[in-house]
Structure 1
Amino acid sequence: MVAWFDRYLRRHLDGLSQPLWSVPPPAGHPAPLVIYCNHPSWWDAAVVILLAGKLYPGRDHRAPFDAAMLARYKIFERMGAFGVDLETARGGAQFLAAARTILSDPKAVLWITAQGRFQDVRVRPLGLRPGVARLPELAPGALFVPLALEYAFWEERGAEAFAAFGPPMTGADLAALPRAERLARLEGALTDTLDRLGADVMTREPERFRPILAGKKGVGGLYDLWRRIAARLRGRSFDPAHRSPTR
C-alpha cells in the first residue's frame, strides 16, 4: 500500500516535501512513538502512510479511525487502523484501551489526527481532543512528536503537500503535568510547528524544503504531447514543469 499511495500521490499532487528544519524522530528510537497531527485534508491518510513507510519501515504502525468511516474504507483496517466512535464516552474508552496495548510495544508508532475532524489549517485554537493528553499516563516511556500538515498550490497543476515534524517531548515529562496543562503543551507544540511551516509555505521558495517524493509535472494529455514534439523539432530537451529551475 505504501507503493500504491506513492504512485497515487505522484500522479495527483506535485509532490511531498518537508522544511529543512524538520527533523523526524530517529527510526531506531528504543521506545514507542506517538506522532500527532492536525487534520486539514482527505490526503492526510495518504501522507501519513507514505511517511510511515519511508521513514519507519521496520516499525508497527497503528492509527485510530472514525468507526463509521472505517466501515466504509475497510482497506485501512488491514493497514493498521482501528475503529473508534468519536462521539461517545465508550469510544474514548476504546481508544485508550487500544492505545495501552499498542504502546506496550517499543517498536510501535501511533499516528493520531488529534483534532478528530477535518479542520482548516488556519483555525486557532486547534482544539485537540483530550484523549491525546491521556496517553503519557499510559506510556511515559514514549516519545510524543507534533506533525504539521499543509497543502498549497504553487507553480504546477497539482497541489504541493508539506509535512513538518516539531521538537519531540517525552511521555514522562508530559505525565508530570496536570492533564489540562499537558493538553495545552501538546497543542502549543503543534501550533508552533504549524505556524513555522505556514510561514515557509507562504514564501513559495522551494529551496526552503527537501523533497520526500516528487509528483508529475506539466499539464498532461495532448497539450504536453504537442509541447514535447515541438521541443524535439527545435532540438531542445522537454521540461514539462511550468517553471523549470533554469528560467
Structure 2
Amino acid sequence: MRREPADVTSSLAKAPVPVPSQRLVRYFTRYSRWYLKRHFHGVRVLPSGMQRLLESTQVSTASGIVFLNHPSWWDPLVGVLLASRFFAEHTHYVPMDAKMLEHYGFFRRLGFYGVTLGSRGAKEFLTRSLEILSRPQSMIWLTPQGRFVDVRERPLQVKRGIGHIMSQAKASFVLPIAVEYAFWNHRLPEILLHVGDVRWLPDDGMASESACCEYAAQSLEKAQDELADAAIRRNEADFDPLMEGRTGTGGVYGWWERIRPGGHSRKQTTENTTSMENHS
C-alpha cells in the first residue's frame, strides 16, 4: 500500500542522521568556491572576527553550533566556504524542511537532515540535533531567524529552536556570524562577514531556552551592527580578505576601457567607476 506524502516526510524527519559523503562534500565545496568567485568581487571579514574564527579552530575535537543571519539565497554557500576554510576537520550538518529534503534527497548526502513543522517536529529536531552534537567534531549550521530578513530589520528575532538546542547541548561551542552583501565601487558585490564572541555550553547564564534565545538574538544583532558600521565606510582596508573573486568593470564601462586608446595599459583601479569617470 502506498503511503501518503505526509508519512514519507515524517519518516525522513525521524530517520537517523547519516554521516555525509566526504567525496560529495569535497565536490560541492569546490563548486561553491568557484560559484562564489564567479559572482562576487571578494569575501571579506572584519579583523576581530577573523581572530575569533582562528581561535575557534583550536577546538579541534569539540562540537559546535554556528548561527548566521539570513539575508540572502547565498548564505548556505558562504557557510560552505567558512566550513572548508576554518573547520575542515569537522563534519557539518544543516537542518532543512523535510518536504524540501524529500524533493532534493541529494542534500542528505551533504549533511542536511529533515525538520517538520509543529510541536512534534520541534521535538524531533531537538533530539536529532543533540544526537549530532554528541558526535565528536560535528557542527550544526543554523539560520535562527527562520526566513529571509533584511540586515536592517530591528529588533532581531530568532525562532525558539536555537534556544531548545543551546539550553541542552553539552561540551559545545557557539559562534554567531553576521553576513552582509554590499555593492561598493565594483561591478560585482562584496560578501562581508563579522564574527561575534565564542561561548561554551553548558553556560550558567544560558540555562533556559529563553535565555539562549535572548543571547542568540543579541549577539547576532551586535555583530550585524558592527559589520554595518564598517560596510558603510566602503573601505576594503578595514577587512581581511578571505577570498578574491572576479575583477573588472564589465558592461559599457568595460567596453569603453577596451576600445579607448591605452585602455588596456591602465591600472586595475579603473574598475572603480568614479576613478574611470575622472579620467574620461
TM-score after normalising by structure 1: 0.88
- Distance (Å, rounded) in 2 between the aligned partners of 1:108 and 1:195: 29
5+ residue gaps, structure 1, are: none
- Distance (Å, rounded) in 2 between the aligned partners of 1:243 and 1:222: 13
The 8 Å contact of residues 205 and 211 in structure 2, kept in 1 or not, is answered as no
5+ residue gaps, structure 2, are: 1-27
Residues 1-247 of structure 1: pairs in structure 2 closer than 5 A: 1-22=28-49, 23-24=52-53, 25-29=55-59, 30-85=61-116, 87-173=117-203, 176-220=206-250, 224=254, 227-228=257-258, 236=265, 239=268, 242-243=271-272
1:21 aligned counterpart, secondary structure: helix
- Distance (Å, rounded) in 2 between the aligned partners of 1:218 and 1:52: 28
- Distance (Å, rounded) in 2 between the aligned partners of 1:226 and 1:151: 27
- Distance (Å, rounded) in 1 between the aligned partners of 2:211 and 2:167: 14
The 8 Å contact of residues 33 and 110 in structure 1, kept in 2 or not, is answered as yes
Shift of 1:28: 3.3
Q: CA RMSD in A?
A: 2.5
1:57 aligned counterpart, secondary structure: coil
TM-score after normalising by structure 2: 0.78
The 8 Å contact of residues 136 and 174 in structure 1, kept in 2 or not, is answered as no
Q: Kindly provide the CA deviation profile for residues 59-97 of structure 1, in whole angstroms up to 9, marking residues without a partner as x.
A: 101111122333444443222111212x32222122111
Between structure 1 and structure 2, the one with the greater Rg is 2
Shift of 1:176: 4.9
- Distance (Å, rounded) in 2 between the aligned partners of 1:96 and 1:229: 60
Q: How many residues align?
A: 244
The 8 Å contact of residues 11 and 216 in structure 1, kept in 2 or not, is answered as yes
Shift of 1:26: 2.5
Letter of the structure 1 residue corresponding to residue 223 of structure 2: T
